[in-house]
Amino acid sequence: MQIILLIFKLLGFLIPEKKNFYIADKWTIELPDKWDTTSKEIELDVESDNHPIIQTIFFEPGSYLNIKAYYLDISKDDIYEKVEADIPDVIAVFENIISKIENKKEYHIPNYRSSKFKSYEYTYNEYDKNFYAITTGIFMKGCLLKIDVSSTIEKEVKTAISYLLSIKEADPKKTAFLKKVDSYRKHA
């Protein structure tokens, strides 16, 4: 496959470069090389084992297109201890979060069906601009990954939603290595 890509590059075909970005050191998402990332602490009215909740924001410089992601570890009380919540419980948490959004309607990602995904589309105003957004919940046992894709241009959002299909669990060895490198940089 890499040989084919090299041939295309040599022949002058434009193949956009992509790179992996991390979501809370637990997942990766593949985005165009020119994208950047930042993060901020957010508050939610949801019971979770995460305190504080760090939202990772991916954005295309010079554009209103952005992807905001965060995850929640969700547990439930068992007879003797707390255990990871089952997927129906995780879905209920997502539905509780999304219930606060007005004028939303369910959105189906084209050519993709999964009971572990649920998306809603809606619009909102921010910075005196009208934004179109698609919010997606990705459900796993004991965990909710919530992704918001938004822009002032609806077509950009519907194109960018395909990036969600590149989300994978991060390799724990790689993230441990990156944390070590980061700590060395901070002390240097």
pLDDT of residue 177: 53
Q: How far apart are CA 26 and CA 19, in angstroms?
A: 16
Position 120 confidence tier, pLDDT thresholds 50, 70, 90: very high
7 lies in some domain = no
Enumerate the β-bridge partners of residue 41.
Answer: 54
Q: Is the pLDDT of residue 145 over 90?
A: no
Q: Which of 38-52, 60-74, 80-94, 118-132 has the lowest mean pLDDT?
A: 38-52
pLDDT: which is higher, 42 or 137: 137
pLDDT of residue 14: 55
4 lies in some domain = no
Q: How far apart are CA 72 and CA 147, in angstroms?
A: 12
Q: What's the CATH code of the domain at 54?
A: 3.40.1000.10
Q: How many domains are there within the chain?
A: 1
Enumerate the β-bridge partners of residue 126.
Answer: 129
Q: Residue 52: which domain range? A: 17-170
Q: Is the pLDDT of residue 175 over 70?
A: no
Position 176 confidence tier, pLDDT thresholds 50, 70, 90: low
pLDDT: which is higher, 105 or 52: 105
User: Cβ-count burial of 44 within 10 angstroms (0-12 exposed, 13-18 middle, 19+ buried)?
Assistant: middle
79 lies in some domain = yes
Q: How far apart are CA 174 and CA 33, in angstroms?
A: 19
3 lies in some domain = no
**Amino acid in position 142:** G
pLDDT of residue 56: 86
Please list the alpha-helical segments (H only) found in the chain: 2-10, 87-98, 154-160, 172-187
Q: How far apart are CA 61 and CA 74, in angstroms?
A: 33
176 lies in some domain = no
Cβ contacts of 113 within 8 Å, gap of 6 or more: none
- Per the CB < 8 A criterion, the answer to whether 57 and 39 are in contact is yes
Q: How far apart are CA 182 and CA 179, in angstroms?
A: 5
Position 183 confidence tier, pLDDT thresholds 50, 70, 90: low
Q: Which of 13-22, 82-91, 176-185 has the lowest mean pLDDT?
A: 176-185
43 lies in some domain = yes
26 lies in some domain = yes
165 lies in some domain = yes
